Structure 1
Amino acid sequence: MIYSPVNHSQLISNVDRLVRDVLFGTISFQQIKSRLNEFYYSFMISFDPEFKYLKPIQAFIESTNIIVGDAYPYNVFWDNEKTVQFIQLLLSHEKTIRKDYSAWRYQSHQNGKRLENNVRTLISNYSRLLFVRVDLKYIQENSHHITIRDFDFHMKKLREAIHNGDTCFTHLLRYAWSLEQGEENGGFHCHLLLIFDSSKHYQDNYLADQVGQKWRDITDDVGYCFVLNTREYKEGLARYGKLGIGMIHRNNMQEVENAVNAALYLTSPDKPDGSYQRLKVSLPNMNMFGQSMTH
């Protein structure tokens, strides 16, 4: 892993938020100018043409390039005139950005339909299944070093371990994963669902902890794992009648519906906290969501 002094993921998230605020939110002219002077130079010197950026970020790059021309980013100051030009140029991208956002939401729902069908089919074939849910992240003080290349490499290593049935992935029947990027801190993370044969495994918290250790090994200890299968977390879900992880019994319809809903969190474009966690930068041929049988 190459350590970078620039927080790439945070910058990318900030630029995406700025463009969406200008086009669809409430932001003052002075705030736009201030953010341009805050983000522009750092973003442009970390820009990588091999990356695939979301439409709002593409719009930012194209609009600022027209205004700045051949000037070196360090020498650019965003005054009132340049800021007005930036806003006007962004408006020409509004329709494309809206269309892309709608296409993403549609794809998210299609992914959810396929995932729900696969989960329900699996449940119908087994009297009991063990559902494990973890969120794979990076330690906050190290997250600014993580680029999309690092994240992609780590995810490939994880999927390789899953396919090989390494240690904690033995007797795994199906898994699904979703890659996202935080809105506030720009941190890359993965929501992971693992469904095990309950005749072979019954300690879901232990399995989840082992997955977390595997993630730490893969990331050389810069990653951490948020485990949903702890007793405390499950008790909290149970109090609201929403427990859908751990041991799920086919003949308990409430458990089945809760398990389906727990799985569908991976594909939902609308997070409960209202944040926009779509992955804003990727590598060519990099998938944001996937699911697979392992037997």
Structure 2
Amino acid sequence: MSESVNESKILIEIECFVESIVSKKTEPKNFYKDLTDLLIQFNQIYSPPFYYSASIGAFLKLINDFDECLESGFYSLLLNKLKQIPFDKIQQSFKRHYRIHERRLRDHRYGESRNTKQLIARMKKVSDDYSRILVVRVDLAYPLKHQVQVGIKEFSHHMKILRKRINDQDKIFKGLIESAWALEQGTDKGYHCHLLLVYKGSERCKAYGIAKQVGDLWKSITGDLGCYFNCHDPNYLKQFSDRNTLGIGMIHRKNKDEVNNMLHTVKYLVRPEKENQHLRVKCKNRMRTFA
């Protein structure tokens, strides 16, 4: 992982670049310069064992084709070599890879729809089984200033530690009756996780405190590279309570509005329309992004 290039940011920039080029009628101004800049940055973070999305595939081919130029470190040499390839030929390569990307995005949306249905079914069962449940939501991420230090390898490692703590029901996770997490990648937030935790309402009642403890644990796991958003912040909750749409915190089985709001809220973890939040790289082909 290069400590001078934001892995998440450059991968999204490459995807956007490829997407913009496939629809062009003529060669854009500064096309080869932009291509050279992106290729050099990608080369700094590229890791052969990882699995990249199809939108990045065209750049994988360029990395292999221009390996010697990239290793030489001579910008002008790489730029001139790329200029020898006609724009329409590069565009055709981008189009081939982007078609595969779009097909996989459709598969991704289908998978997210299936995940949503499964999560809703799990949460319905929990709300039926207990007279009241405490639903805790916290978002785990990395501030922009630290994102250059965190690639998919580090993010995956941090999540592995957190999942073990959850599965072991260690300390703050003691008495957990349900949980869910979703891994995503955004333009500003970089790699991040939406986390849902559910406890028996008869045993736990302080959602804000639990979310804060989880956030502090995340900061500890990441060596203070991580940050978090406590979804139980009173100012944040007010906008939902004012509209009678609050779906986290203490949920009572007999209160149908609370239950329905809760079911609507948990859908956010895996909304199919959030395909622009998909991971562009994975440590392994079948790396899980939801559970």
Check whether TM > 0.5.
Answer: yes
Q: 1:31 to 1:206 in 2, by over 3 A?
A: farther
Task: Choose from 188, 196, 204 the match for 1:193.
Answer: 196
Q: Secondary structure at the match of 1:72?
A: helix
Q: Supply the distance in 2 between the matched residues of 1:24 and 1:101 (Cα, whole angstroms).
A: 18
1:46 paired residue number: 45
The answer to whether the aligner puts 1:144 opposite 2:141 as a matched pair is no
Say if 2:278 is the partner of 1:278. yes
Higher helix share: 2
Aligned partner (choices 69, 72, 80) of residue 72 of structure 1: 69
Alignment of 1:177 with 2:181, yes or no, is yes
Residue identity over aligned pairs, in percent, reads 31
Shift of the 218–3 alpha-carbon distance from structure 1 to 2, 3 Å rule, reads farther
Task: Name the residue aligned to 2:12.
Answer: 13
Given candidates 193, 207, 210, the residue that maps to 2:210 is 207
CA drift at 1:233: 1.2
**SS where residue 91 of structure 2 aligns?**
helix
Cα pair distance change 1:213/1:33, threshold 3 Å: same
Which segments of 5 or more consecutive residues in structure 2 lack a partner in the other structure? none
CA contact (8 A) 1:9 1:186 kept: no
The answer to whether structure 1 residue 114 and structure 2 residue 114 are counterparts is no
Taking the TM superposition and a 5 Å limit, the aligned residue runs for 1:155-174 are 155-174=159-178
Q: 2: distance between equivalents of 1:56 and 1:221?
A: 32
Contact 1:19 1:60 in 2 (8 A): no
> How far is 1:264 from its partner?
1.0
Answer whether contact 1:33 1:80 (CA < 8 A) is retained: no
In the TM superposition, residue 60 of structure 1 has moved relative to its aligned partner by: 2.9
Q: Is the 8 A contact 1:21 1:27 kept in 2?
A: no
Q: Name the structure 1 match of 2:96.
A: 92
Distance 1:108 1:25, change over 3 A: farther
Distance 1:23 1:228 in 2: 39
Aligned equivalent of 1:102: 106
The Cα shift of 1:8 comes to 1.7
Q: CA deviation at 1:32?
A: 4.1
How many positions carry a matched residue from both structures? Answer: 283
Match of 2:225 in 1: 222
How far off its partner does 1:13 sit? Answer: 1.6
CA contact (8 A) 2:251 2:259 kept: yes
Counterpart residue type for residue 40 of structure 1: L
Q: In the alignment, is the contact (CA less than 8 A) between 1:177 and 1:193 conserved in 2?
A: yes
Partner Cα separation in structure 2 for residue 41 and residue 35 of structure 1: 10
RMSD of aligned residue pairs (Cα, Å) = 2.2
**Deviations 1:77-101 (CA, angstroms, capped at 9, x unpaired):** 1438544321122122343222111
Contact 1:11–1:186 under 8 Å retained in 2: no
Are residue 237 (structure 1) and residue 236 (structure 2) matched?
no
Change (3 A) 1:112 1:142: same
Q: CA 1:175–1:26 in structure 2 vs 1: closer, same or farther (change >3 Å)?
A: farther
Deviation (angstroms), 1:133: 0.6
Decide whether aligned partners of structure 1 residues 140 and 270 sit closer, same or farther in structure 2, where only a CA change above 3 A counts. Answer: same
Distance in structure 2 (CA, Å) of the matches to 1:166 and 1:215: 14
Rounded Cα–Cα distance in structure 1 between residues aligned with 2:147 and 2:176: 30
* SS, match of residue 152 in structure 1: helix
Shift of 1:45: 3.3
Q: Hey, what does 1:247 align to over in structure 2?
A: 250
* TM-score between both structures, scaled by the size of structure 1: 0.89
2:117 is paired with a residue of what secondary structure?
helix
Q: Which moved more, 1:184-193 or 1:126-135?
A: 184-193
2:115 is paired with a residue of what secondary structure? helix
In the other structure, the counterpart of 1:60 is 59
Q: Tell whether the 8 Å contact from 1:126 to 1:250 is kept in structure 2 after alignment.
A: yes
Partner of 1:264: 267
**Whole-angstrom CA distance in 2 between matches of 1:59 and 1:206:** 47
Q: Tell me what 1:289 maps to.
A: 290
Aligned counterparts of 1:3 and 1:34: Cα–Cα separation in 2: 22
SS at match of 1:38: helix
SS at match of 2:145: coil
